A and B are shown apart, each in its own frame.
Chain A
């Protein structure tokens, strides 16, 4: 398939996906829905830290403000994981069982690949909206409203460091989302579990709300092969919350893990596609 055709098909898929996800309500309510969940997640962890500070668990008060800044950035960018994993994990089920259009998409000249990519990009846009709004609200709430003086200055973010890391991170997450779609093409029992499982593993092992050094030593090797770990490290470095000296090595590891997930994602998807065609799974109905 020519690149231009692929891009065109992915663009059309994005347009359809965006309409499905957003046109059930007006834009203001849609934006509110997009921001409330990640903001509530952030408030949960922030209040845990505030309760810890009030209990005087640590003698050093600056520890809490620094930790809160570290945590806000990790939690905000975790929105990409949530949106992409949950969006792509349910995609095949919704199109095959609910709208019953997966078979039509499959037999169209565009094929499934650009379709999945286009729908995944809708989750990326949703994730980006959540990240930006969560960061803005965090500064407004914790520094503006609660006067906590958290060392988080959104105007001092090093965008040259941030963008390459975010782009690589998004590619790796889309590749993982690709695998989730592949699993759902050949299975009809995992659609409600997969997205939560993968995002839950990333939440625990990816250094989202605590440094991975606090994990048991036998689990840390798993954290070290997850792209999310390096994505969040690099993002925190761009916000000045970690020393930038290790940025290049974090970016290199992120690029390497992204390449590996991309190869595995495409391979798994192709295998699932072949198996589904062989067993006639593209029009399987599973909800009665």
Chain B
């Protein structure tokens, strides 16, 4: 019988697993240059359409800046949906899921690695989208406090990828539903998060819509980043946003852990963990 690992050894093993999964994600996503170019260039097409729409209806140029930030944040949501939430589904389809399940590490460390790799990758793409957007559309930014923007941005990513961990657990046993559900969660979330609006928390937007949108961490983070980076507001005005983002993370992380354990156990009982082509 193998000796039981100490908590320190266990932690180190899990950190190594997270690092390994992150490395695969970083390497896999950046080896193909056409993918990188497309992931930066494609959102510019949609952003461009909305910037021209804003101009057509006579809204100020700051609305264009808001849509560029929204477009960049959508890159993170897309990554969370297709590379976090649906990941176990892809792994099962390609026959890798059983290898993750027999590895002597926590499944959460694998998800953590995915989240770290995904957030670094997408940050590179989001920066590209913002810079290209500013260059092409010449929209004004008023960045008075970059450190605050950085803090809110990191908190938003942590909350968002924690939500991705929860979705990954829930999607674990999905067949074709995974593909369709990830598809379904695109435009409705773009709408609810106000990614393409100048501002979601505006009097003209119905309260029910604002409340539904606030269940998505991206909505809260996006509003805070826009206030700091476009309106030039100080961190004092976005304290409620910061608290809400921290609360989201604290609620979603244990939920993700429980959901993962439950779905894995259900998958074992029903024999669905290795089922392909559902």
Within 8 Å by CB of A99, from B175, B198, B277, lies B277
Q: How far, in whole Å, are A64 and B176 apart by their CA atoms in the complex?
A: 41
Please tell me if the beta carbons of A36 and B184 are within 8 angstroms of each other in the complex.
yes
Is A132 an interface position by the 8 A CB rule?
no
Q: How far, in whole Å, are A12 and B196 apart by their CA atoms in the complex?
A: 41
Which residues from chain B contact A52 at a C-beta distance below 8 Å? 54, 57-59
Is B38 an interface position by the 8 A CB rule?
yes
Give the interface segment out of A42-50, A233-241, A273-281.
A42-50
Q: How far, in whole Å, are A98 and B183 apart by their CA atoms in the complex?
A: 18
Q: How far, in whole Å, are A44 and B189 apart by their CA atoms in the complex?
A: 10
Please tell me if the beta carbons of B204 and A209 are within 8 angstroms of each other in the complex.
no
Give the interface segment out of B14-22, B42-50, B214-222.
B42-50
Is B190 an interface position by the 8 A CB rule?
yes
Which residues from chain A contact B205 at a C-beta distance below 8 Å? 47, 51
Which residues from chain B contact A49 at a C-beta distance below 8 Å? 57
A187 to chain B, nearest CB (A): 9
Please tell me if the beta carbons of A48 and B32 are within 8 angstroms of each other in the complex.
no
Give the interface segment out of A157-165, A196-204, A242-250, A255-263.
A196-204
Is A270 an interface position by the 8 A CB rule?
no
Interface residues on A, range: 35 or more
Q: How far, in whole Å, are A64 and B46 apart by their CA atoms in the complex?
A: 21
Q: How far, in whole Å, are A283 and B4 apart by their CA atoms in the complex?
A: 47
Is A72 an interface position by the 8 A CB rule?
no
Please tell me if the beta carbons of A210 and B204 are within 8 angstroms of each other in the complex.
no
Q: Mark A167-198, 1 if CB is under 8 A from B, else 0.
A: 00000000000000000000001101100110
Is A271 an interface position by the 8 A CB rule?
no
Is A57 an interface position by the 8 A CB rule?
yes
Is A125 an interface position by the 8 A CB rule?
no
- Identify which of residues 65-120 in chain B touch chain A, using a CB-to-CB cut-off of 8 Å: 90, 93-94, 96
Please tell me if the beta carbons of B191 and A197 are within 8 angstroms of each other in the complex.
no
Is A288 an interface position by the 8 A CB rule?
yes
Which residues from chain A contact B204 at a C-beta distance below 8 Å? 50-51, 54
Residue in chain B with minimal CB distance to A67: B57
Which residues from chain B contact A287 at a C-beta distance below 8 Å? 90, 93-94
Which residues from chain B contact A204 at a C-beta distance below 8 Å? 45-46, 48-49, 52
Residue in chain A with minimal CB distance to B183: A37
Q: How far, in whole Å, are A197 and B40 apart by their CA atoms in the complex?
A: 11
Residues of B within 8 A of A (CB): 32, 34-35, 38, 42, 45-46, 48-50, 52-59, 90, 93-94, 96, 175-177, 180, 183-184, 186-188, 190-191, 196-199, 202-205, 277-278
Chain A to chain B contacts (Cβ below 8 Å), 14 pairs? A24-B177, A40-B190, A47-B205, A48-B50, A52-B54, A52-B59, A55-B59, A64-B57, A197-B45, A203-B49, A204-B46, A209-B49, A210-B49, A210-B53
